[in-house]
Copies of this chain bind each other. A is one copy, B any other.
Amino acid sequence: MTHRRHARSRSRRLVRPGHWHVHARVERFVEPSLLLLLRERPLHGYELLERIPELGVEGRVDIGNLYRLLRALEEEGLVQSEWSADLPGPAKRTYELTAEGRRLLDRWAEALNRAQGTITGFLERYEEGR
């Protein structure tokens, strides 16, 4: 692969002068998203990419990072995969959740609950002083 250098924007996603996108996204939210989708049934990477928006993720998910994450999760025994020769179309690697992956999902759910409490607290304090 060849790559060139490209001029890119300065920082903080300017829209108009003095205006930025404000996102408020949860760090590494794609990880629990993948685990949750895979708990429901085995899927391959591209399907996961298509279904993640169902979970309300703002902005598109980076496909490159998604595949990298899947392989990282597999290395750690959180998901398992195999090539599905049977399915039509290009070769697909189908992932399924392991017991350990399921436990990690449970931990994510707890963490997301705590995060929700934090956000609620913030918003309450915000509303108080409007």
Contact = CB atoms under 8 A, between A and B. Distances in A.
A123 B32 CA distance: 10
Given A24-B27, A26-B27, A108-B22, A58 B114 contact: yes
B116 A120 contact: yes
Nearest to A108: B22
Chain A interface mostly helix, strand, loop or mixed?
helix
Interface of A: 18, 20, 22-27, 29, 32-33, 36, 39-40, 55-58, 76-77, 100, 104-105, 107-123, 125-126, 129
Contacts of A105: 126
A56 B29 CA distance: 19
B118 A119 contact: no
